[in-house]
Amino acid sequence: MCGICGIINRDGQPVEKGVLQRLSSVLRHRGPDDEGYHYEPGVGLGFRRLSIIDLSGGRQPMTNEDQTVWVVFNGEIYNFKELRLLLQTYGHVFRTASDTEVIVHGFEQWGEDVVHHLNGMFAFAAWDSRSRRLLLARDRLGIKPLFYSLIDGSLAFASEIKSLLLWPQLDPAINDRGVFEYFSQHFVPGSETFYSHIHKLQPAEMLRLADGDVRLRKYWHPQVIPNAKQSVADAVDELRQRLLAAVKMQLVADVPLGVFLSGGLDSSAVTAAMGQAGVQEIRSFNIGFDVKRYDETDFALQVSQHLGTRHESFRLNEWPTSILPKLLWHLDEPMADATIIPTYILSLMTRRHVTVALSGEGGDELFAGYTHYQGMKLNRLLQFFPVSWRRLGVAWLKHLPYGGSARTGYFLDRLARIVSSSFFPLFEGYTRKVAFFSPEEQQLLFSPAFQEKMAHFPYLSAVRRIPQDHPELDAVSQANLTDLLIYLPEDMLVKVDRMSMAGSLEVRVPILDHTLVEFALSLPFSFKMKGLETKYILRRALQPWLPASILQRRKRGFNPPLEFWLQKGLVEYAREQEMMATVAACGYFNPDYIQLLIDAHVSGRRNYARQLWSILVFALWWRRIRGKGECPV
């Protein structure tokens, strides 16, 4: 895993070495082992290395035999040995054992089509000196990040936004639409970011710069084409073999390697596959919490004992408020996913033992593991009851006495929200579950001036595009595809990349091998969810590997006890960080409404943890991180 950056001046003006070195140095956490640069007229490429494969070689920027092609690359190419043999048959001469070199020679051989030959997680820049052509490319699922900016005839790119903020030509103006999107779904989807002049290369997207012209295109499109002829039994066998093959392929490394093992189905599947692939000593790691219903440590230990792993368990017993500003700097933008905290601490602790860790991201999206799919099916049943009955039920739940117990109050509030979502068509109900603020709540949250400015922006436009593009799917399948194409790359993979890289740990996600993803998309949805049973086919496939107690357990999720953290410590922490003064000064909000949310949550009557966390994260970022490339904390 590494950090890359570069500047291309289309007028040929030399790139200032000091500027490029600043862009690179701020990415040191992504690559503490080495750095490298390449300069030629109008071009500068920078690189920070975390050594994983070919420790003595593999330095970047890497070039071909006649130094006409230069590459900087972040990620891993898992099929590099096969590609190396293939490219040698075409006459290419390799000087290293690095996976980076297959991109160099592959770009020579196939041009932009090199991406179709790569199996891995990657973000790279390839520069052809002869044609003065640049190619930026990102892997199919968006595992590795890449950002770029086009200003006054120059293009700059980097693995993280903070690097681009140090480019002197960049105006760090805030993108108001990014603010609006964030308070809809807790991240900014698509190509936009919180900064007007910084853009995100999207999953499976390439940027081509040639002859002064910039073009973007997608090179891979996930196809949802269920194979009706395949039996469940055959699909179970094929899934097991594909999972094993993906994990085995991703075990290649010249450094110590381990696995995140939470005790959930996905991480247990990856760990079991490591054993099936022949790993003699599996190093596994998890983090637990002091609130028992959030703590999965017992399950992790159970799986570890069953598979014979050497397990390390860490604990998070309180809200570590002091590290939050630093984590937001690593994220570059507000993202209201509180699991950044345990993910970061787990990564730091794991890095003391290994340099690479496998993880189970992608299982919920590929095999329908989220509980909101069950909720959507239950909503179908609720819709048989008259609306008047359901409205009465919601009102009753909201006014039931809760005895001052936050646990009871939050539970009743959750039930009321579930019933409330049944008032809408199924997919619309799904958007109400995943959104942080509904349109009605945004009317209360935002200031009149900001509401007027955002009036022409559609709410959840990226999410609503999925059912428009896939009308042939039922609502639950549309929600599942939305989670795969939007929630996974914009939240889950961002969190894992930034928090693991903050600790200089490489995390690999074998369930997101693109051939396994394509296979999963060919399965009928009934194979993934049978009745209310989620991950039906995955549970069947894992029966030879895991005990029934793990296969049959309810999904708990990797979540900290956020609502209780906020109930106990929000008021004091918000005062310390000047949250209310910040939200009042920035002009986006109605502070009185935010105060009402705080009062209701702290009293234990309503669970506004997600909403308040999103506001707190934004206020911290706005006051302490916004526009700053170098870490201010």
Number of C-alpha atoms within 13 angstroms, CB side, residue 201? 36
Q: Say whether 2 is catalytic.
A: yes
Number of H helices, E strands in the chain: 28, 17
- Structure token digits, residue 581: 């003064």
Sheet holding 154-158, edge to edge: 34-40, 43-49, 2-9, 154-158, 147-151, 199-200
Question: Which residue type sits at 238?
Answer: E
Classify 429 as helix, strand or coil.
helix
Residue 404 annotated as binding? no
- DSSP tag of 16: P
Closest to 511 (Cα-Cα) out of 373, 369, 366 = 366
**Closest C-alpha to 28, from 330, 243, 302:** 330
Token pair belonging to 96: 């290293």
Are 437 and 429 a contacting pair, CB within 8 Å? no
E strand map for 219-346: 257-260, 283-289, 310-316
- Helix, strand, coil percentages (3-state) for the chain, rounded to 5, are 50, 15, 35
Report how far residue 98's alpha carbon sits from residue 76's, in angstroms, rounded to the nearest whole number.
10
Which candidate, 362, 373, 386, places its Cα nearest to that of 492? 362
Q: Is 360 annotated as a binding residue?
A: yes
Identity of the residue numbered 53: I
Distance between CA atoms of residues 395 and 349, nearest Å: 46
* Residue of 424, 417, 517 whose CA lies nearest to 475: 424
d(CA 439, CA 461): 13
DSSP at 150: E
Query: Binding residue per annotation — 287?
Result: yes
Contact 200, 449 (CB under 8 A): no
DSSP state of 492: I
Cα dihedral 405/433/185/614 (nearest 10): 0
Instruction: Give the whole-angstrom CA distance, residue 624 versus residue 618.
Output: 10
| DSSP state, residue 158 | E
Catalytic residue among 2, 5, 586, 631: 2
Q: Are 163 and 171 in contact (CB under 8 A)?
A: no
Residue 279's H or E segment, with its range, is none
Q: 506-508 and 356-358: which strand pairing? A: parallel
> What is d(CA 3, CA 72) in angstroms, rounded to the nearest whole number?
9
Residue 507's nearest CA partner among 515, 498, 516 is 498
Read off φ and ψ for residue 147, nearest 5 degrees. Answer: -125, 155
Residues 6+ apart with CB under 8 A from 6: 20, 43, 44, 45, 46, 72, 125, 127, 156, 157, 158
Active site residues: 2
Binding residues for ATP: 287, 359-360
Binding residues: 99, 287, 359-360
Binding residues for L-glutamine: 99
